[in-house]
Amino acid sequence: MTVLNWRSVAFVMALPLAACSSGDTARYLIDAPAASGAETRVSVRSVELRDVSLPSHASGTSILVRETDGALRPLGDAEWADDPERAVTGTLAQMLDDRSTATVSAEPWPLLDGPSARLDVRIDKMLANANGVFEITGQAAVSAVDGRPRERVERFAIVVPITEITAAAVTEAQGRALVALSDELIGLLR
């Protein structure tokens, strides 16, 4: 009689998963350049960034490129290293916190004392185009918890150039686009 311990069972169960994984897939972080320069003064002391809403083409693990015929196709064997919604939310929260005078955190608000404002970002389009641009479009809404800032909703359209259509270049362009988006969001909080 053969007796299997939990380590043996775990190893045997992991074998099919290891056989299915491709060692050729490169994974890229959704990230942005480090903040430089002074903080921008805003009218609130703290902001809760709601989970950023992404369209289905930007919420999967594949890095997609819109071809000249309009079709969205995966960029080789490149994938995002993290859940895009979580990564974009975390990146924007960090940039808003670094680049403004407000304390910014992604939801749920981690402190007992609630935030002064809530920021809701809904992205309609976030992708690289074969014609050499990366674009992010959508709308953002700021709602006051303590009476400031003035509540409003604004649309945004960010376009930055891509030097080449590679995963590294798309990732770098996306980072620059997120910096530009954070600047627009800070404008909402003024």
CATH code for the domain of 163: 3.40.50.10610
Task: Classify residue 38: in a domain, yes or no.
Answer: no
Q: Looking at residue 150, what is its pLDDT?
A: 76
Which pTM does this prediction carry? 0.85
Task: Classify residue 18: in a domain, yes or no.
Answer: no
Listed in sequence order, the residues at least 6 apart from 76 whose beta carbon sits closer than 8 Å to its beta carbon are: 167
CB-based contact 151:117 (threshold 8 Å): no
Q: State mean pLDDT over 80-99.
A: 96
Q: State mean pLDDT over 94-102.
A: 96
Instruction: Tell which wins on pLDDT, 83 or 18.
Output: 83
**Containing structural domain, residue 136:** 43-188
Residue 175: pLDDT band (50, 70, 90) is very high
Task: Classify residue 17: in a domain, yes or no.
Answer: no
CB-based contact 43:149 (threshold 8 Å): yes
Task: Classify residue 122: in a domain, yes or no.
Answer: yes
What's the CA gap between 170 and 155, in Å, rounded? Answer: 23
Task: Classify residue 34: in a domain, yes or no.
Answer: no
Q: Read off the tokens for 184.
A: 């627009």
Listing DSSP states for 26-76 in one string gives EEE----PPP-SPPBP-S-SEEEEPPPB--HHHHSSEEEEE-TTS-EEEEE
Which residue from 84, 31, 42 is spatially nearest to 61, judged by alpha carbons? 84
Task: Classify residue 86: in a domain, yes or no.
Answer: yes
In the chain, how many domains are there? Answer: 1
Q: Looking at residue 17, what is its pLDDT?
A: 42
Task: Classify residue 131: in a domain, yes or no.
Answer: yes
Tens of pLDDT along 49-82? 999 999 999 999 999 999 999 999 999 889 999 9
Between β-strands 117-129 and 133-144, what pairing exists: parallel, antiparallel or unpaired? antiparallel
Tens of pLDDT along 131-171? 999 999 999 999 988 766 678 999 999 999 999 999 999 99
Task: Classify residue 105: in a domain, yes or no.
Answer: yes
What's the CA gap between 73 and 63, in Å, rounded? Answer: 8
